[in-house]
């Protein structure tokens, strides 16, 4: 059946992140979630931008190549985020101790967040990809404030150990980005542009 506003391509979010799922729900379009099975370890000598873009596309292609992406035409969204300062990559801390160490290292400094996005079209076998960069300046706060924040919000599953959509905004002095949703994990301005370019009926009229 050809695509139409009544029968759009199937949309899949290739992610285990509840934050990305919540962001995509803002668009009020139907989608499924499939968790990709890939190795997310950065390669030796790989730049943060390259890591983020490579993993975003790998996630989308992994799901598109599985049984989940076997429909006549499926659009698969892959995304990955890498934070960096002084050339060092900052991942998800996983534990309280590692999160505290991250925040201590970043306080009073500028940190770049690379939020890569890929939209893979199974119908054409093509991928659109972009890296949206957000510059974040962290406040120079004492350990007591950092500890209190971590205990309040437990942001151990986000790169950089701070949730800007919650209390973590108090850790930040400034955010510089073309897309306010990029820092949370899924750049919606870039994504909606990709979906429109792929002919997806975001407004039910295409």
Determine how β-strand 10-14 pairs with β-strand 32-34: parallel
Q: Centre a 10 Å sphere on the Cβ of residue 111 and count the other Cβ atoms it contains.
A: 22
Say which residue, 3 or 134, is predicted with more confidence: 134
Q: How far apart are CA 50 and CA 53, in angstroms?
A: 5
Q: What is the pLDDT of the chain when averaged over all its residues?
A: 91
Would you say residue 96 has pLDDT above 90? yes
pLDDT, tens only, 34-45: 999 888 888 888
Residue 133's pLDDT is 96
Name the percent of the chain lying above pLDDT 90.
76
Residue 71's pLDDT is 55
Among candidates 36, 38, 41, 46, which has minimal Cα distance to 13?
A: 36
Name the percent of the chain lying above pLDDT 70.
94
pLDDT, tens only, 66-80: 765 555 789 999 999
Residue 65's pLDDT is 84
Q: Where are the alpha helices (DSSP H) in the chain?
A: 18-25, 48-64, 96-106, 143-153, 188-197
Residue 69's pLDDT is 52
Q: Compute the average pLDDT of residues 72-95.
A: 90
Q: How far apart are CA 7 and CA 25, in angstroms?
A: 19
Would you say residue 182 has pLDDT above 60? yes
pLDDT, tens only, 135-172: 999 999 999 999 999 999 999 998 889 999 999 999 99
**Catalytic residue of the set 6, 80, 176, 179:** 80
Would you say residue 111 has pLDDT above 60? yes
Residue 6's pLDDT is 58
Judge whether 110 counts as a catalytic residue: no
| pLDDT band at residue 1 under the 50/70/90 scheme | very low
Domains recognised in the chain with CATH numbers: 10-197 (3.90.950.10)
Residue 25's pLDDT is 97
């Amino acid at each position: 059946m050809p695509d139409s506003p009544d029968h759009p391509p199937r949309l899949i979010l290739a992610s285990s992140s509840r934050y990305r799922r919540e962001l995509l729900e803002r668009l009020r379009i139907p989608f499924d979630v499939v968790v990709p099975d890939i190795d997310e370890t950065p390669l030796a000598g790989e730049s943060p931008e390259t890591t983020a873009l490579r993993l975003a596309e790998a996630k989308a292609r992994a799901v598109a190549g599985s049984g989940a992406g076997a429909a006549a035409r499926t659009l698969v969204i892959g995304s990955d985020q890498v934070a960096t300062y002084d050339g060092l990559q900052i991942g998800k801390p996983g534990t309280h101790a590692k999160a505290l160490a991250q925040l201590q290292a970043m306080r009073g400094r500028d940190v770049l967040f690379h939020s890569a996005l890929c939209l893979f079209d199974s119908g054409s076998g093509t991928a659109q990809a972009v890296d949206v960069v957000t510059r974040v300046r962290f406040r120079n706060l004492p350990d007591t404030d950092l500890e209190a924040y971590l205990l309040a919000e437990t942001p151990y599953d986000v790169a950089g150990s701070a949730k800007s959509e919650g209390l973590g905004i108090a850790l930040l002095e400034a955010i510089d980005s073309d897309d306010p949703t990029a820092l949370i994990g899924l750049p919606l301005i870039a994504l909606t542009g990709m979906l429109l370019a792929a002919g997806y009926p975001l407004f039910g009229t295409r």
